[in-house]
Amino acid sequence: ISGFVVSLSVCLSECSRLYLNKKTSDKQPYSKLAGVSLLKPLKGVDSNLINNLETFFELDYPKFEILLCVQDHDDPAIDVCKKLLGKYPNVDARLFIGGKKVGINPKINNLMPGYEGAKYDLVWICDSGIRVKPDTLTDMVNQMTEKVGLVHGLPYVADRQGFAATLEQVYFGTSHPRSYISANVTGIKCVTGMSCLMRKDILDQAGGLITFAQYIAEDYFMAKAIADRGWKFSMATQVAMQNSGSYSVAQFQSRMIRWAKLRINMLPATICEPISECFVASLIISWAAHHVFRWDIMVFFMCHCLAWFISDYIQLRGVQGGAPSFSKLDYAVAWFIRESMTIQIFLSALWDPTISWRTGRYRLRCGGTAEEILDV
């Protein structure tokens, strides 16, 4: 089993190294690339917001528009948007303020005016904390071949300072891509909504964005609607690079609990998820090895965890495209703490079916729908 874990991660690492972070190949003539409407949901300001947004204004792409969507009229993100609109007058960009209440999902509500005003056949929904390279959009559109209806990016994290940044980078470079890449290699539909390029006509066939406003995990249900109509998915060769200026261990933990709650309510099989984590899996396999082969439980447990630890580092290097910016000691500490948090995160998700997201609180229902909890 230990050998299988190492072999799997080595294979995934090689897939990551060969597929991710490679130079974009021109599958279509530059001038004939399809037009894209970029929908950018914004709320609040952090230290990296203006730099992240500016990378979209500097995209090297022949035909695109940027639709900046802000819900509240007093949001400081409006000033950031106006500054960039003034700095880049030749970029086709518009600012939408106020949103449109169509359901309980605040992101969908915020995006609705921009979606209704989009003029191109491809829509790219990309979170505010993402930064891109000049050729990122070219790479994504080149993956949008004839039978593909959705192109998504593997979430990863930019190099930043502090232990919380290291913790996030270790998670998004080890545990997350192991399941994410495995699912996509085997044909299982696994998509996160941080950076998704979709065919607008398919979304319109499903009823448009308003259809997904009843869900908190709108990305899962948008992907499902596209797959149900017979379209394929493709993963971009560039990662969806998260570069939020606001991050902490507590924020990371809260985010993981929220995601776990959503998975449990959408996919009941998620109840088995803990056995895919290192310490639980190693304990079960060690117990089995002891009873079948009479091997020492503690020795086998330690060897299995060590094999997992090494394979995760190989996986991390594959996603990063080389050695990470932090030391091996920092990796070891962050890896151990991340793995130790998994049971607590899972139990917290089971204990309370409500989630806090943006400025609202929501009670999740089985199947993925939710209701907003209003303070009386």
Active site residues: 219
Write down how long the chain is: 376
Kindly give, in sequence order, each residue whose CB lies less than 8 Å from that of residue 295, ignoring residues fewer than 6 positions away.
286, 289
**Strand pairing report for 36-42 and 122-126:** parallel
Distance CA 50, CA 80 (A): 6
For helices 249-266 and 328-351, what crossing angle results, to 10°?
Answer: 50
Return d(Cα 353, Cα 61) in angstroms, integer.
43
Amino acid at 136: T
How far is CA 47 from each of CA 44, 155, 237, 254, 297, rounded to the nearest angstrom? 11, 20, 27, 21, 49
Reading phi first (left if > 0) and then psi (alpha if -120 to 50, else beta), residue 237 is in alpha
Q: How far apart are CA 322 and CA 222, in angstroms?
A: 33
Q: Which region holds residue 205: left if phi is over 0, alpha if psi is between -120 and 50, else beta?
A: alpha
| CB of 52 closer than 8 Å to CB of 131 | yes
Tokens, residue 348: 């917290």
